[in-house]
Structure 1
Amino acid sequence: MDRLGVVDEIFLRTHRGLGTPIALQGLWRTSDRVEPALLQRIHDALRSGPLGRRVVRPRVPGARRGWRVNTRAHPLLFIDDPLPTSALLPWADDLGAELDPEFGPGWRLAAAWLADGGSVVVLTCSHALADARGLVYAVDVALREVGATAGAAQARTESARADRPEAESVRHATSLPDTDRLADRAAAEPSSRRSGDAAARAAESSTARSAAARESDWADALRQWSIVAGGTIRALRQGIPKRPVSSASVRTGGSELRVHSAVVQFRAADWDSVAKAHRGTANSLFIQLVVNLLWDIGFSDPTIGASLPVDTRDEPRVDNDLSMTEIIVDRSDTPATLRAKARAAYERRMTSPGGMPEELLQVIPDRWAYALSKGAGERDILCSNIGTLPDSLRTIGAHPCTGVAARAIHPHLTPARFPRTRLSGYLCRTGDDYVLSLVGLDPAIQSGTALCELTVEAATRLGLDGSPW
């Protein structure tokens, strides 16, 4: 059984109300109308792919929660009544409801036609199921499968037409796909035989799975407790750890606090050129832009703490395979100095609470684990550079994408669960463009439109020309 990692469980706890709720979201825009039949094929591929899983509880204390295949999914949500482009992000902001990585489907695919003649396709996923790179991997698998299936079907059709063109109309009327013929053959078998065989196979499978799960739970629990015991003894040799202090700041304003979103697109050649002119990198320019934006919004502190996610995977997979680091930014910093700070920060990751082994968070009750890890990784801003997306994500079937964005949203966020983070930025590159997604949690941000305008102004001062979505 595949097991949840420490970061997976942190995001599972946020889903249950122990922390800030987080869902990941990918958005694709096209200049034409994407047909519902294609979207349904993509939905089916996602359902049977890496995202098709859910969390199951262990039967042995100390064992980690595991993953089980789950092909249940929210049905495709399709809006054919064209949305104004100004309503695109507010509509997408509300798609994180009813995602449940443990007891129900943890993801949703939605699409809408836009008033400008184009379309937007949105995949929303509980952060417990995947991190940003994991979601990219799952989409890559699904789109490649849909593309391969469509290509194979087209090849078979063209071959059949070349062999027997005169029979084309007859075949369309009478023949069935292989899956349909198999279903018909199965339907012809005596029902008692089918049900008896199915029951026997199900009983056998269930017994085998239960035995394997019990054995695996015992082995996993032994491993976890061994790590925790050994790590705790080593930590205590340095003295009793200090009680962890939450990094989350107190928010005021009650129910008036709101989250606002913006997406701005930039030509990659211009972005890279400006970064080079400032002796920085695409990443350090990204950090500089988000930092400047928070000060423009009215943040009064002379320094800004920035949390930077670090991808730690050594192979493609959907799990939350990341760690966090941080840098402190002051007003004298430039893309060049931020480049040096980020490079140094990537060598020193944020550690587990009090120097204790991080596995401790998986063997103690959830509320204790939350108290120990509360506010971990939260700083004034979050700068998540997702990197270059695979070429497969640049099209939806035969429809070229005019832009692809990736971000996190916060479904069911209440004032009591607001994080320290006041502004989150997400950067990805697709083809010739960088797309910057911003999620504003600072009470000084009046609206998504205001956030977008401030972003364009801050980018202009750096020499960048941004195009709002």
Structure 2
Amino acid sequence: MDRLTVVDEIFLRTHRGMGTPIALQGLWRTPDAMEPALLQSIHDRLRVGRLGRRVVDSRVPGARRGWQPNTSAHPLDLLPNRTAIAETDWPAMPIAHHDSGRGAGPLPAHAVLPWADSLGTDLDPEFAPGWRLSAARLDGGGTVVALTCSHVLADARGLIHAVTAALRSLDPAHASIGLLPAGETQYRTTSSEWTDAVSQWVTIFGGTTRALLRRFPRRSARPATDHVPREPASSGIPPANPGSPSDRHLRPLLLTFDAAHWDTTANTLGGTPNSLFIHLIANILWQNGFPNPIITASLPVDTRDEPRVDNDLAVTEIAIHRLDTPATIRDKARSAYQHRMSSPAGLPEEILQVIPDRWAYTLSKGAGERDILCSNIGTLPDAVRRVGPHDCTRVAARAIHPGITAFPRTQLAGYLSHLGDTYTLALVSLAADNDSLLDAVDKACAATGLHPAPW
């Protein structure tokens, strides 16, 4: 049985109400109408793929929670366009809690993000399906498709791998890629749980002893390779007051950029496409009124050695000053990627998997949270450019926060993906005042020489 990692369990605690809830979402747009039968076929493949699983508790103290196949799923969620095709061709699924009261007609462009933001409800990686496939007709023609899943099930690259496997399996030549056997496997206590428990306890006791010996009588350098982040030493600049939860609200944006122009701009400024991305997010936050002269950026790092649907990431950080350029940020990021955030107090990260959830949450609270989050998802596979016979004109990947009440330190999160001749930038502002966000984006892009376009 596959076991949850420490990162998986951090996201499981947020699902249980400890911290900021997070779901991941992939969005596709096609210029033509997508057939419900095709969407149902994709849904069926996702259901028996690697997203089709749920968390089960261990019955042995110290053993990690495990993954069990789960082929039950939320039904395909279709927002119909009854003016274009018959209701029997585009069935009306239960959508009242996703539709935000706007009726069952096609979506106008300005309603796409509010609709997509509403799709994270009822995702449960433990006791119900943790993912949902949704689609809506657009009033200007075409279709938008959304795959939304709990962050417990996968990170952004993992979600992309799941989608890629489902789309490739539409081709009979690849019909078995990424699929699990149909039907749920009966969960039972096995000798592997005892083995896992022994391994966990040996690691915890040994690592804790080493940590204590390092700290007494003197403190040594912190470990630099653990996945669970610790809070860094103060930079001397107090963090900006994020405001109370009642003062803060979400503001999502989706923007596109010409890839050739983005790459040329980065090269001209002495940076890379990634350092230009980080530079832009920081300057959007400053333009939006962030008062401090230093912004601390959280930078997720994909740690996969092979394609798989998991949370397989670590986090590092850099401090950005107002005079930093894409060139200086390139050097800072390059160094930071070699030194990942470490586990709390130098203790072995596995300790978070054997202590009670609320203790673990307290110990890891705020892990990875900085002033901004810059998640470079990278180049998407060519397989996501086409869904059956339909070309995808726009593809985006991002995080959403369904039912958020506990706002993080993070003020602005950016998710950058590259497909073909386009970079797509998904922004989620979590600040107290987002009224000037669009103006801040325009000013930051103009200062850098970038030209955003609506998604």
> Which bracket does the TM-score occupy, shorter chain normalised?
0.7 to 0.9
Relative distance call for 1:267 and 1:147 in structure 2 (3 A) is farther
Q: Deviations over 1:30-61 (max 9, x none)?
A: 11111211111111111011100000000001
Partner of 1:386: 377
Instruction: Report if aligned partners of 1:263, 1:452 keep a CA contact under 8 Å in 2.
Output: no
* Pairing 1:310-329 to 2, within 5 Å after superposition: 310-329=301-320
- What secondary structure, in the 3-state scheme, does the structure 1 residue paired with 2:349 have? coil
Partner of 1:457: 443
Partner of 2:101: none
Instruction: Report if aligned partners of 1:249, 1:419 keep a CA contact under 8 Å in 2.
Output: no
Partner of 2:356: 365
* Residue 135 (structure 2) pairs with residue 111 (structure 1): yes
Partner of 1:63: 63
> In structure 1, which of residues 238, 246, 252 is the aligned counterpart of residue 214 of structure 2?
238
Partner of 1:197: none
Instruction: Report if aligned partners of 1:262, 1:451 keep a CA contact under 8 Å in 2.
Output: no
Instruction: Report if aligned partners of 1:21, 1:412 keep a CA contact under 8 Å in 2.
Output: yes
Using the size of structure 1 for normalisation, the TM-score is 0.84
> In structure 1, which of residues 332, 345, 355 is the aligned counterpart of residue 336 of structure 2?
345
- What secondary structure, in the 3-state scheme, does the structure 1 residue paired with 2:434 have? coil
> In structure 2, which of residues 158, 182, 190 is the aligned counterpart of residue 134 of structure 1?
158
> In structure 2, which of residues 165, 171, 195 is the aligned counterpart of residue 219 of structure 1?
195
CA distance in 2, matches of 1:363, 1:275: 45
Shift of 1:451: 3.1
Letter in 2 for 1:136: I
Relative distance call for 1:148 and 1:467 in structure 2 (3 A) is farther
Letter in 2 for 1:451: L
Using the size of structure 2 for normalisation, the TM-score is 0.86
Q: Deviations over 1:137-173 (max 9, x none)?
A: 0000000011337999xxxxxxxxxxxxxxxxxxxxx
> In structure 1, which of residues 433, 454, 457 is the aligned counterpart of residue 422 of structure 2?
433
Partner of 1:270: 261
Relative distance call for 1:249 and 1:74 in structure 2 (3 A) is farther
Partner of 2:367: 376
Instruction: Report if aligned partners of 2:248, 2:433 keep a CA contact under 8 Å in 1.
Output: no
Partner of 1:94: 118
CA distance in 1, matches of 2:175, 2:399: 33
Shift of 1:245: 6.6
Q: Structure 1, unaligned stretches of length 5 or more?
A: 153-200
- What secondary structure, in the 3-state scheme, does the structure 2 residue paired with 1:34 have? coil
* Residue 324 (structure 2) pairs with residue 333 (structure 1): yes
Letter in 2 for 1:389: L
Q: Deviations over 1:290-326 (max 9, x none)?
A: 0010000000000000000000111111111100000
Relative distance call for 1:87 and 1:74 in structure 2 (3 A) is same
Letter in 1 for 2:164: D
Q: Structure 2, unaligned stretches of length 5 or more?
A: 81-104, 177-182, 223-229
Letter in 2 for 1:45: R
Letter in 2 for 1:464: L
* Residue 454 (structure 2) pairs with residue 468 (structure 1): yes
Relative distance call for 1:333 and 1:289 in structure 2 (3 A) is same
Q: CA RMSD in A?
A: 2.2
Letter in 1 for 2:414: G
Letter in 2 for 1:411: P
> In structure 1, which of residues 409, 419, 425 is the aligned counterpart of residue 408 of structure 2?
419
CA distance in 1, matches of 2:269, 2:115: 37
Instruction: Report if aligned partners of 1:275, 1:282 keep a CA contact under 8 Å in 2.
Output: yes
Partner of 1:29: 29
> In structure 2, which of residues 231, 240, 243 is the aligned counterpart of residue 252 of structure 1?
243
Instruction: Report if aligned partners of 2:271, 2:330 keep a CA contact under 8 Å in 1.
Output: yes
- What secondary structure, in the 3-state scheme, does the structure 2 residue paired with 1:82 have? coil
CA distance in 1, matches of 2:15, 2:390: 34
- What secondary structure, in the 3-state scheme, does the structure 1 residue paired with 2:170 have? helix
Relative distance call for 1:427 and 1:32 in structure 2 (3 A) is same
CA distance in 1, matches of 2:142, 2:71: 30
Larger Rg: 1
Shift of 1:466: 1.1
Q: Deviations over 1:176-198 (max 9, x none)?
A: xxxxxxxxxxxxxxxxxxxxxxx
Identity %: 60
CA distance in 1, matches of 2:54, 2:241: 34
* Residue 396 (structure 2) pairs with residue 405 (structure 1): yes
Shift of 1:239: 2.7
CA distance in 2, matches of 1:124, 1:230: 40
CA distance in 1, matches of 2:193, 2:175: 43
Shift of 1:65: 0.2
- What secondary structure, in the 3-state scheme, does the structure 2 residue paired with 1:94 have? helix
